[in-house]
Amino acid sequence: MGNESSDFRYNTGDTKVPWAAVGENYNAADTFEFVKFLMQGKGAKYNAALRDVKAAIAALGKVSAPPGKLSMGDKVAEVEKAIDQYLGVEEGSSLFVSNCTAALELGYRYAGVGPGDEVIVPTNTFIATVAYPLSVGAKLVFADVDPRTVNMDPKDVARKITRKTKIIVPVHIGGYPCDMDAIMKVAKKRDIVVMEDAAHGFGGEYKGRKLGTIGHFGCFSTHEVKNCTSLGEGGIFVSNVPEYRAEARRARFLGVDFSSKIKNWLYNVSLIKGKGRVRYQASNNASVTEIQALGLLLQIKRYDRILRERTRLATYVTKRLSKIPGVMPQLLGDAKVKPTFHLYQLQIDPKVCGGTVQTLKAKLEEKGVTNIPHFGPIYRFSAAIGKGFDEKKIAATCPVTEKVFDERYTHLPIYGLTKEQVDFMVDAIAASVAEMKAGK
Ligand SMILES: *Cc1c(COP(=O)(O)O)cnc(C)c1O
């Protein structure tokens, strides 16, 4: 049946009358449109270069054949291998899927999360982290955050575990590693599954291990706003549970099972085996395209350079901001803890600065620094609380979160900024804090 990721719809074979590989492929003129989309511009020089490219692609079109497969082929297998190597995990651990939300679902389903079960999550994350448990009527239990890293506090996780806890989901927010040893320790005592939401953490390290490879499972996003992308959308599911690797692979495509056949048919559809007695029918098709795989492969090949640039910019901003009393800049990590600097996370001490971060945010926006506060306490969303739960009661169990988000914390852009833009941002922070201290 060809490679593991192939599916019956594309099994062309070497026959006189093969099964059509795809409905319709792309021709040279279409390919030119792709190039034009990926390399935009205007003006005489651009138009002249474009005409040369058009002629060259037309010439290539006369002597070339289109790819046999557009979905789930060799490129997908190749990028999965590259990810395994980059992360330092056993071959076959990584699965390239349609997005991180779909990757997270694979881990939740392994743990058998259902109605009434409890799921421990941090307060500050994107709704994608908790979408699956909410959709099946599980109860979200919010762990408070560490005041400095704004990551899940393992001590609060330990306090909030009950007999109903099925899974703990640490999120390496902004790419700063969670205290994984402490989280793994409390989970192990009770045989609870740990799934790292490493949407921001690709390439980050914790005590010599890459983020996303420490828990039972790790999930990455390759959406266009994350550290590396597969042409806009994508995700990676990493399984540290060897017996779930083939299961998750099958779950990616509806549980279709080529290893067994039913009577007079090509394949079977079998249930996915999760933890213990958990069995489920896969409900999603999280397949990806060869073009997405190629896009991701190219970015992973230069990923060390991408991380170095993020680290360089964050280090520079932290160095400058640490000179301002009352400003607590992004932590830079050390030999054991290596962040990915997906976001530049900033805090202030309201007492020293003479005002809260809400004032600082407004001042920065006035001065022209984009304010995108996209992570906050998700229990403030009515949808994230669920029926019968009370926002005030939940907030009362997360006092650090309440204080940090209302008074101390924000995050700033970092990657892709020029020296001028970075300096402008730091100067704007310095000026705003000075105004606040002067009571303005
Ligand atoms: C972006 C993000 C996700 C979801 O990623 P998609 O690939 O868009 O599904 C999950 N968790 C966090 C923390 C994120 O920021």
The structure tokens 């704004």 sit at 150
- Residues 176-184: what's their mean pLDDT? 98
Ligand 1 centroid – CA 384 distance (Å): 16
- The pLDDT, as a whole number, for residue 260 is 87
Counting beta carbons within 10 angstroms of the beta carbon of residue 55, is it exposed (0 to 12), middle (13 to 18) or buried (19 or more)?
exposed
- Best CA proximity match to 1, nearest among 239, 256, 238, 252: 256
- Taking only the tens place, the pLDDT of each residue in 3-37 is 444 555 555 566 777 666 557 889 999 999 999 99
From its phi and psi, is residue 321 left (phi > 0), alpha (psi between -120 and 50) or beta? Answer: alpha
Q: Between β-strands 268-269 and 256-257, what pairing exists: parallel, antiparallel or unpaired?
A: antiparallel
Q: Which has the higher per-residue pLDDT, 3 or 214?
A: 214
- Taking only the tens place, the pLDDT of each residue in 48-79 is 999 999 999 999 999 999 887 889 999 999 99
Ligand 1 atom closest to the CA of 104, numbered from 1: 10
Q: Whose CA is nearest to atom 6 of ligand 1?
A: 100
- Best CA proximity match to 212, nearest among 200, 222, 224: 200
- Best CA proximity match to 125, nearest among 172, 161, 178, 181: 172
Does ligand 1 have an atom closer than 6 angstroms to the CB of 196? no
- Best CA proximity match to 79, nearest among 376, 269, 301, 307: 301
Q: Whose CA is nearest to atom 2 of ligand 1?
A: 199
- The pLDDT, as a whole number, for residue 1 is 33
Q: Is the pLDDT of residue 100 over 50?
A: yes
Mutual angle of helices 303-321 and 290-301, in 10-degree steps: 60
The structure tokens 């266009």 sit at 224
- Residues 107-133: what's their mean pLDDT? 96
* pTM for this prediction: 0.95
Q: How many residues does the chain have?
A: 440
Mutate to test the pocket of ligand 1, among 121, 129, 178 (most ligand atoms within 8 A of CB): 129
- The pLDDT, as a whole number, for residue 309 is 96
Does ligand 1 have an atom closer than 6 angstroms to the CB of 235? yes
- Best CA proximity match to 436, nearest among 375, 366, 343, 376: 366
CA trace torsion 350, 356, 357, 358 (10° rounding): 180
Q: Whose CA is nearest to atom 5 of ligand 1?
A: 100
- The pLDDT, as a whole number, for residue 193 is 98
CA trace torsion 276, 278, 279, 281 (10° rounding): -140
Return the SS3 of 289: strand
Does ligand 1 have an atom closer than 6 angstroms to the CB of 197? yes
Does ligand 1 have an atom closer than 6 angstroms to the CB of 221? yes
Ligand 1 centroid – CA 229 distance (Å): 12
The amino acid present at 4, given as its one-letter code, is E
Q: What whole-number distance in Å separates Cα of residue 359 and Cα of residue 263? A: 69
Q: Which has the higher per-residue pLDDT, 107 or 4?
A: 107
The answer to whether the beta carbons of residues 36 and 50 sit under 8 Å apart is yes
Ligand 1 atom closest to the CA of 235, numbered from 1: 7
Does ligand 1 have an atom closer than 6 angstroms to the CB of 223? yes
Q: What counts of helices (H) and strands (E) characterise the chain?
A: 16, 19
Return the SS3 of 84: helix
- The pLDDT, as a whole number, for residue 4 is 44
Ligand 1 atom closest to the CA of 128, numbered from 1: 10
Ligand 1 atom closest to the CA of 226, numbered from 1: 1
Does ligand 1 have an atom closer than 6 angstroms to the CB of 199? yes
Adjacency order of strands within the sheet including 209-210:
209-210, 205-206, 337-338
In whole angstroms, what separates CA 268 from the centre of its chain? 32
- Average pLDDT over the chain reads 93
Mutate to test the pocket of ligand 1, among 197, 292, 296, 378 (most ligand atoms within 8 A of CB): 197
Output b/e per residue, 320-356; b: 16+ Cβ within 10 A: bbeebebbbbbbbbeeebbbbbbbbbbbbebeebbbe
Does ligand 1 have an atom closer than 6 angstroms to the CB of 99? yes
- Residues 227-256: what's their mean pLDDT? 97
- Best CA proximity match to 285, nearest among 256, 247, 305: 256
Ligand 1 centroid – CA 219 distance (Å): 9
- 8-17, 147-156, 259-268: lowest mean pLDDT where? 8-17
Ligand 1 centroid – CA 23 distance (Å): 32
Ligand 1 centroid – CA 102 distance (Å): 10
The structure tokens 């058998």 sit at 112
Q: What whole-number distance in Å separates Cα of residue 432 and Cα of residue 421? A: 16
- Residues 277-290: what's their mean pLDDT? 97
Ligand 1 centroid – CA 107 distance (Å): 14
The amino acid present at 330, given as its one-letter code, is Q
Does ligand 1 have an atom closer than 6 angstroms to the CB of 93? no
Return the SS3 of 32: helix
- Residues 243-262: what's their mean pLDDT? 94
- Taking only the tens place, the pLDDT of each residue in 380-404 is 887 766 666 788 999 999 999 999 9
